[in-house]
A and B are shown apart, each in its own frame.
Chain A
Amino acid sequence: MIEIRNLTKRYGALTAVNDISFTVSPGEVLGFLGPNGAGKSTTMKMITGFLAPTSGAISVCGHDVENDPLAAKACMGYLPEGAPSYGEMSVRTFLEFIADIRRLSGERRRTRLDDVIARLQLGSVLEQMIETLSKGFKRRVGLAQALLHDPQVLILDEPTDGLDPNQKHQVRTLINDMSKDKIIVISTHILEEVDAVCNRAIIIAGGKLLADATPKELAARAPSGRLDDVFRQITTGQKNAA
């Protein structure tokens, strides 16, 4: 369960996230939609405890992110925007490091490592330095790191950005496979992705929450029945169809 109440983040005079509230329950795959600069990444950074909110409260798996950050972080896996990692490490030593910090040991450590390596098809690049990998592989290493401890909650910031169509398809299949009992939040500005993997969509722009519905309901708001049109109407302020 993720509960977000009146979340606000200001950078100086700019309000990047403006009084947003919502909750996400297990089994939901939430698409976080919005144009560039909408405040998607900022919201995710606050959920994962990287940034402190200016005001408002977040709880993840029943743990308040500000008061009990370690417990909240332990039940989350996070792919930050751009999938940063340690370039000078090999894929294997990087994943071993994450396994250490996630306190995976013994048999479970081995099965979890084998599982993510197989799921993300990293077997062929295990000994390669991360900085020499292609963009698609780097993204998959970032995903593997997020999935390693089999977290209850997954926060993925633009997981398919920069991937080719086949890789996009693979990542979407992966998300679909995992979605049964987890909470997954993915941010994107690619609308077909929402159709492909999400069962709920939130649209934000200018830091404000503008819509919260299933992709189907959203699409029905436009005369054309197309999600793109709804997105454009909502985020450019022409809400006549809403």
Chain B
Amino acid sequence: MHNIKGIFRREFSSYFATPLALVFIVFFLMLAAGFAFQFGRFYERGQADLAPFFSFHPWLYLFLMSAISMRLWAEERKSGSIELLMTLPVTTWQAVIGKYLAAWAFAGVALALTFPMWITVNYLGNPDNGAVLAGYIGSWLMAGGFLAIGACMSAATRNQVIAFIFTVVICFGFLLSGYPIVLDLVSGWAPRVLVDALASLSFYTHFEAISKGVIDLRDLLYFGTVIGVWLAATTIVLDMKKAD
């Protein structure tokens, strides 16, 4: 725990050591708000909720979370600091968790800074603030899933661009498999169990479920499992090829 905390603190503050974090957050806020107003018809719907805002998060995260996670391990490897880190008295697992949590917390900060959206809907009407909170929780959990996949890709290569591309591709799969269009396509020929299995594997299905305002234990378990599995894979990948 002590080691995880130390690594987390170092990593988290490193996000703010360069203007990059600021640029990222501004970019995120602009896109998140822009999508909601432009394509989500935030005002025109005449409904006071944040549904149009949250509905674009999966697509926003596809690129923005991949951009955060690509540097996680690729950069340690490129600069050689991985050799320093892994010869300190910490386990690979502690390093993986500490760095991952820092990325996730950073994503949380960016997400939390969208609070003016929440103020706006409260100003415009009487939204179900429980549902808004659930939306935020669902969105942050989904961000965690993306980042765990990205951490693993970043551990597998020293090239950040390659890490980014692989993360986008895999996350795209994890998203798309829950969209009705894809499920309809599959349900034409596949047995029902397969369709359900496919849907239940998708970030989208669970994110949708939570952002409707119902925080079901199964959805939490789903994200917990996805994150755990990908971080375990990250640890294995690092132990196998940390010196390459």
Contact = CB atoms under 8 A, between A and B. Distances in A.
Contacts of B91: 69-70
A84 B90 contact: no
Interface string A96-108: 0110111100000
A145 B84 contact: yes
Contacts of B18: 88
Contact of B88 (A73, A86, A89, A129): A73
A98 B80 contact: no
A48 B90 CA distance: 12
B86 interface: yes
Given A50-B243, A101-B3, A102-B89, A87 B84 contact: no
Contacts of A97: 6, 9-10
A103 B7 CA distance: 13
Interface in A140-194: 145
A206 interface: no
A4 interface: no
A63 to B, nearest CB: 11
Given A84-B81, A86-B10, A97-B10, A50 B87 contact: yes
Interface residues of A, number: 29
B83 A80 contact: yes
A93 interface: yes
Contact of B14 (A73, A86, A101, A145): A86
A78 B83 CA distance: 10
Interface in B1-46: 2-3, 6-7, 9-10, 13-14, 17-18
Nearest to B11: A86
A89 B6 contact: no
A51 B88 contact: no
B212 interface: no
A74 B89 contact: yes
Contacts of B17: 88-89, 129
B141 to A, nearest CB: 29
Contacts of A76: 87
B84 A85 contact: yes
A50 B90 CA distance: 11
Contacts of B9: 97, 100
Contacts of A87: 79
Interface residues of B, number: 23
Contacts of A101: 3, 6-7, 88-90
A86 B6 CA distance: 14
Interface in B61-82: 79-81
Interface in A44-90: 45, 48-51, 69-71, 73-74, 76, 78, 80, 82, 84-89
B80 A80 contact: yes
Interface in A7-21: none
Given A89-B14, A102-B89, A84 B6 contact: no
Given A50-B242, A101-B3, A101-B6, A86 B86 contact: no
Q: Which of B2, B17, B83, B86 has the most CB of A within 10 A?
A: B83
Contacts of A80: 80, 83-84, 87
Nearest to A48: B87
Given A73-B88, A89-B14, A100 B79 contact: no
Contacts of B86: 49-50
Q: Which 6 A-B pairs have the closest CB atoms?
A: A84-B80, A100-B6, A88-B17, A73-B89, A80-B83, A48-B87
Given A45-B83, A93-B13, A101-B7, 19 more contacts: A48-B87, A49-B86, A49-B87, A50-B87, A73-B89, A74-B89, A82-B80, A84-B84, A85-B84, A88-B14, A89-B10, A89-B14, A89-B17, A100-B9, A101-B3, A101-B6, A101-B88, A102-B88, A145-B84
20 contacts: A45-B83, A50-B86, A50-B87, A50-B242, A51-B243, A74-B89, A78-B84, A78-B87, A80-B83, A80-B84, A80-B87, A84-B80, A84-B81, A89-B14, A97-B6, A100-B2, A100-B9, A101-B88, A101-B90, A145-B84
